[in-house]
Each structure stands twice: as structure tokens, then as C-alpha cells.
Amino acid sequence: MDAGDARRILDEETERGRARIAAASSLEELEDAKVAVLGRKAPIASVQSSLGALPVSDKPEIGKLANQAFTALREALDARRRELETVAEGALAQADAVDVTLPGRRPRPGSRHPLTLVEDRIVDVFTRMGYRVVEGPEIEDDWHNFEALNIPADHPARTMKDSLYVDVPGMLLRTETSAVQIRTMQAQQPPIAVVAPGRVYRREAVDATHLSVFHQVEGLAVDEGISFADLRGTLEAFARELFGERVRVRLSPDYFPFVEPGCQVAVSCFVCDGAGCRVCGNGWLELLGAGMVHPKVLENCGIDPERYTGFAFGLGIERVAMVRYGIGDMRLFVEGDVRFLEQFQGAA
Ligand code: 2NL
């Protein structure tokens, strides 16, 4: 190679290289072009390696031309890379673009569960009468769940048939929320006025009227001079708040080990006003159990039954919700079917 060859190669290869770089349409193609144009096997590189063999008088000129060719091509590469990077960023931005003119996705509003609606309503009536809300553990010990409530060891409620036991001796899933009131009486002397809402557990075969997990509100009032008349008046006030001014309350004798006397509480049907209909059958809705707290129960909790008396009541939230909303199958409360639940949007 003489100086003329070198000038020609540098000229031609600079032009070819520029064309190749300009033709690259992606960053990957540009990387290939860089190897072809400036790599060790590129024709321009052969000029540089032949430089040593040229006459001394030609070396400075050819060396300078070779450097200019390299610089020109490097600049062309950098310029094209910046162009292609801008294009790539633009494409990414386009893929990520949000069309702010599209209509939004409307969120489906949730609603409170019918059992929550009923529980809140019941609790609200009692808190307005001065009752305090108390809560307690769902895993209870034998004493708080049974013994303190005057439920003897041979009572059917104590056997495996009705209760769900956990793998710790003497512990079970609470069968009613009474244990919370027992704990309240142990913790403080009268006057006491509390409601205990919560989840309770029974060993049941699940069907339209039985669940093994359900909900209760129990209430308890203990003070000097509390009478059965106070129980009746309280339950009448409660029934009127829940079902309207016209509702009547009927008490009939019943037995619970933790009260004496005990009674079953029915309210006149809010649909037919007591005449008898599809909701109630005979005009009455049996909603609660109640009674005067058994002296032994007071004594078990460290309250003097000679000085104090009290009344207590318990009701099933599922039962009240079924009556109130005309629900025929308890399983609907736990199945989570949106078609059922969305019917309570805006309900009270
Ligand atoms: C029912 C019956 C009732 C009570 C619950 C109670 C609680 C204490 C002391 C005395 Cl700490 N009694 N609770 C009393 C009578 C009936 O519930 O059929 N509930 C659905």
C-alpha cells in the first residue's frame, strides 16, 4: 500500500461507513455497523496498520488523515445513537401513554353485611339507654363458658354434642357471649349495664335455620332494686326502637340454668301487627330469651345476691336479620354471594 492507496481507502471507507451508520434502524443494527466500520478487521484499520511501512515523508499526512477518518466515523456513530435512543424512548412513552379522554372504570361500591347492620342497630339502641359495649375472647375456658353460668357438669350443653372444643384441655369455642358478662361482673361491682355482641360457635349440622358459627347480642343489668318490671320495660323500649311504636311484647315462662325466673320473649309481628302472616305464622315473633340473673351466678362472680339483683337477655342476630329483611335461609349470610349482599346497599 502506498500513500495514494491509503488516501483512496480512507476517502471511500469514510463515505461507506457514513452510509452504513445512517442505514442502521435500531440500536442493535448500529452496534453491528460500529464493528464493521471501526473494528479491528475494518478496511480503515488496515490503513493504520500499514502506516509503519510508508515512506517517512508520507507518514504525518496519512496518519493525520486516518485520525480524521476515525473521528468523523465516531462522531457519525454517536449522532446516530442519540437519534435512535430518542426514537426508542418515544416508542416506550407511546406504549405507556394514558388516554385521559377514556371514560373511567366505575368502582362498585361495597355495602355493610346485613348482620353488621342489625348488630349495629341493636347495640345503638342499648348504648342510647346507657349500656356499655363489652367484648371478650372467642376461645373460652370451661369455667367462664359453663360453670359460672350455673350450667352443671352433666348439662347437655357441656357435652361434645353441642360444643366445639379446641386442642387444649378445658378450652372451647364460646357457645354464647355470656362469658363476657361474667368477666365484667368479676371485674367490677354494680351498677352494671353492658351489652356483649359477638360470634359464637355450636356443633350443628348446617341447614336453612342452623349455622355452626353465628352471632349474638347479650345484655346484662345489675344494681340494687332491679326487678322483672325493669326487664320488661327495657325489652319493650328495645322492641319499639327496632320494629316501631305499635309493637307489643309477650313474655312466656322458659328455663335457662343462669336465670330464675326465665322467659321467652316474643314481639308482635311488624308485618301483620299480630294478625298472623307468612313472616310470623301466628302473629308473634320469638326473638329473645331473658330472665333475672340466678343468685348463684351473681355469687360466682363475687356480687352479693342479697344486695343486688339483675336481669339478662340474649338474642340471635341471624334470627333478627331474617325476620327484619325476610331472609329464608341462614346460609345466605355466610356464602358471600354478591347478588345477595348488594341488596343491602343503603339499607338500615
Ligand atoms: C337465648 C337465651 C339468654 C341470658 C341469655 C345471661 C347472662 C348472664 C347471666 C344470666 Cl352473665 N343470663 N344471659 C339469659 C337468658 C337468656 O339467652 O335463647 N338466646 C338466643
pLDDT digits (tens, 9 = 90+) for 48-90: 788 788 888 888 888 888 888 889 889 989 988 998 888 888 8
What cell numbers appear for 168 in the block? 387444649
Please name the residue ranges forming H helices in the chain.
3-23, 27-38, 43-50, 59-96, 114-128, 142-145, 178-187, 228-243, 295-300, 317-325, 332-335, 338-341
Question: What value does the mean pLDDT take over residues 317-337?
Answer: 93
Model pTM above 0.85: no
Confidence of residue 160 (pLDDT cuts 50, 70, 90): low
Q: Quote the ligand 1 centre to 214 CA distance (angstroms).
A: 15
Atom from ligand 1 closest to the CA of residue 319: 20
pLDDT digits (tens, 9 = 90+) for 225-283: 999 999 999 999 999 999 999 999 999 999 999 999 999 999 999 888 889 888 888 99
Q: What is the spatial distance between Cα 250 and Cα 252, in angstroms, rounded to a whole number?
A: 7
Question: What value does the mean pLDDT take over residues 110-130?
Answer: 95
Place of cell 360453670: 147
pLDDT of 172 above 90: yes
Confidence of residue 213 (pLDDT cuts 50, 70, 90): very high
Atom from ligand 1 closest to the CA of residue 182: 11
Q: Report whether 283 contacts 274 (CB < 8 A).
A: yes
Q: Give exposure, 311-343, as e/b (b: 16+ Cβ within 10 Å).
A: bbbbbbbbbbbbbbeebeebebbeeeeeeebee
Share of the chain above pLDDT 70, in %: 99
Read off the amino acid at residue 161. Answer: K
Residues with CB under 6 A from ligand 1: 178, 181-182, 218, 220, 256, 258-259, 262, 289-291, 293, 297, 312-316
Q: Quote the ligand 1 centre to 277 CA distance (angstroms).
A: 29
Contacts of 345 (CB under 8 A, 6+ apart): 109, 111
Read off the amino acid at residue 58. Answer: D
Q: Report whether 218 contacts 313 (CB < 8 A).
A: yes
- Site to probe by mutation for ligand 1, drawn from 175, 178, 263, 297 as the one with most ligand atoms within 8 Å of Cβ, is 178
pLDDT of 33 above 90: no
- Top-confidence residue, 30 or 299: 299
Q: State whether residue 222 is helix, strand or coil.
A: strand
Q: Quote the ligand 1 centre to 265 CA distance (angstroms).
A: 12
Q: Report the mean per-residue pLDDT for the chain.
A: 91
pLDDT of 145 above 70: yes
Q: State whether residue 254 is helix, strand or coil.
A: strand
- Top-confidence residue, 306 or 37: 306
- Site to probe by mutation for ligand 1, drawn from 183, 184, 254, 313 as the one with most ligand atoms within 8 Å of Cβ, is 313
Element spanning 201, H or E = strand 192-201
Q: Can you list the positions of beta strands (E) in 236-335?
A: 249-254, 259-268, 284-293, 309-316
Whole-Å CA distances, 170 to 143, 167, 308:
8, 9, 31
